[in-house]
A and B are shown apart, each in its own frame.
Chain A
Amino acid sequence: MSGASAPVPKIAVKGLEKSFGEKRVLDGVMIDVAAGESLVIIGGSGTGKSVLIKCILGLMRPEAGSIRIDGEESIGIGRTARETLMRRFGMLFQGSALFDSLRVWENVAFGLIQGRGMARQQAHEIALTKLAAVGLGPEIGDLSPSELSGGMQKRVALARAVAAEPEILFFDEPTTGLDPIMADVINRLIVDLVRGLGVTAISITHDMTSARKIADRIAMLHKGGIIWQGATAEIDKTDNPFVDQFVHGRAEGPIEMEVRAA
Chain B
Amino acid sequence: MIAFLASIGAAFLAFLAAAGRLAMFAGQALGTGLTPPYYPRMILRQIVYVGYFSLPVVGLTALFTGMVLALQSYTGFARFNAEGAIATVVVLSVTRELGPVIAGLMVAGRVGAAMAAEIGTMRVTDQIDALSTLSTDPLRYLVLPRLLAGLLTLPALVFVADIIGVFGGFLVGTYKLNFNPATFLTQTEQYLATMDVVSGLVKAAVFGFIVALMGCYQGYYSQGGAEGVGQATTHAVVSASILILLSDYFLTQAFFT
Point out residues on A near B: beta carbons under 8 Å. 54, 57-59, 79, 83, 86-87, 89-91, 93-95, 97-100, 110-111, 114-117, 160-161, 164
Contact = CB atoms under 8 A, between A and B. Distances in A.
Contacts of B125: 95, 97
A94 B130 contact: no
A117 B37 contact: yes
18 contacts: A57-B129, A58-B132, A59-B129, A79-B137, A83-B135, A86-B135, A91-B129, A91-B130, A91-B133, A93-B130, A97-B125, A97-B126, A98-B127, A98-B130, A110-B134, A110-B136, A114-B134, A115-B135
Nearest to A85: B135
Contacts of B77: none
B133 A90 contact: yes
Nearest to A166: B133
Given A110-B136, A115-B136, A99 B127 contact: yes
A100 B134 CA distance: 15
B173 to A, nearest CB: 46
Given A94-B126, A95-B126, A114 B132 contact: no
A100 B121 CA distance: 10
A123 to B, nearest CB: 12
B126 A114 contact: no
B39 interface: yes
A164 B135 CA distance: 10
B179 interface: no
B37 A97 contact: no
Nearest to B37: A117
Given A95-B126, A97-B126, A111 B132 contact: no
A90 B127 CA distance: 14
Contact of B134 (A54, A79, A95, A160): A160
Contacts of B129: 54, 57, 59, 91, 93, 97
A262 to B, nearest CB: 17
Contact of A87 (B37, B122, B135): B135
Contacts of A58: 132
Contacts of B37: 114, 117
Contacts of B136: 110-111, 114-115
B141 interface: yes
By CB atoms of chain A within 10 A, which of B127, B130, B132, B134 has the most? B134
B55 to A, nearest CB: 22
Given A79-B137, A99-B130, A117-B37, 18 more contacts: A57-B133, A59-B132, A83-B135, A86-B132, A86-B133, A91-B130, A91-B133, A93-B129, A94-B126, A97-B129, A98-B130, A110-B134, A114-B37, A114-B39, A114-B135, A115-B134, A115-B136, A160-B134
Nearest to B133: A91
Interface string B98-136: 000000000000000000000000100111011011111
A81 B42 CA distance: 25
A99 B37 CA distance: 20
Given A111-B135, A117-B37, A97 B130 contact: yes
Contact of A116 (B39, B133, B135): B135
A27 B154 CA distance: 50
A107 to B, nearest CB: 9
Contacts of A97: 125-127, 129-130
A115 B141 CA distance: 11
Contacts of A93: 126, 129-130
By CB atoms of chain A within 10 A, which of B37, B130, B132 has the most? B130
A61 B137 CA distance: 16
Task: Sort A-B residue pairs by CB-CB distance and give the 4 closest, nearest first.
Answer: A115-B135, A111-B134, A97-B126, A97-B130
Contact of B133 (A89, A94, A100): A89
Contacts of A87: 135
B123 to A, nearest CB: 10
A89 B132 CA distance: 10
B225 to A, nearest CB: 11
Nearest to B139: A79
A89 B131 CA distance: 12
Contacts of A161: 133
B14 to A, nearest CB: 15
Contacts of B141: 114
Interface string B35-48: 00101000000000
